[in-house]
Amino acid sequence: MAVLEIKKYPEKILKEKAAPVMEFDSELQMLIDDMIETMYAAPGVGLAANQVGVSKQVIVIDVSSKEEQSPLIVLINPKIVHVEGEIAIEEGCLSIPGYITLIKRAEKVKVTGLDRQGKTVEIEGTGFLSRALQHEIDHLNGILLVDRIGRLTKELFKKRYLSADRQA
């Protein structure tokens, strides 16, 4: 296993829709293991494959630090099939280090996808798990949290974040 480089905004792959996984081979299993190790090393609670430069619909999530009874989740080709409610909470992203902003998301989601063996799974998430599922699935669709903020806030973000990045 290896800790992979997490791609940072504004890298192009973060804005691209990831390709569906078709083969459940050893290469996919190694990617999943590396993503899990990278997520824990970051440290983060979720990671999408395109955040490590791989255009595949794979996410890993572990919110056990916030919700004790939540196991490690590996989802392949995930889709949100049902949403309920709405709540706005501050959110950050490993691909935009140091930036936290208020994001509106569904309070509850139902997601379908495949596990690492290719079996169909369905996950219902509320609270922090709901937010993590939505955040990581957004990544697979080329959507960053800054795409979910207002135009003026986004312009301010771009000016501050990109100028701070150039100074580093």
Tell me whether residue 27 is one of the annotated catalytic residues. no
Domains of the chain, with CATH numbers? Answer: 12-167 (3.90.45.10)
Q: What is the pTM for the complete model shown?
A: 0.93
Report how far apart, in Å, the C-alpha atoms of 164 and of each of 1, 11, 157 are. Answer: 33, 16, 10
Q: Are 72 and 39 in contact (CB under 8 A)?
A: no
More confident of the two residues 11 and 153: 11
pLDDT in tens, 3-29: 999 999 999 999 999 999 999 999 999
The whole-number average pLDDT for the span 31-37 is 98
Contacts of 45 (CB under 8 A, 6+ apart): 39, 61, 62, 63, 65, 66, 128, 132
Question: What are the φ/ψ torsions at residue 23 (nearest 5 degrees)?
Answer: -120, 130
Exactly one of 27, 67, 90, 136 is catalytic; name it: 136
Contacts of 42 (CB under 8 A, 6+ apart): 6, 94
DSSP 18-44: PBPP---SHHHHHHHHHHHHHHHHTT-
Q: What is the mean pLDDT of the chain?
A: 93
| Reported confidence tier of residue 165, pLDDT bands at 50, 70, 90 | low
Q: Are 139 and 91 in contact (CB under 8 A)?
A: no
Distance CA 73, CA 56 (A): 16
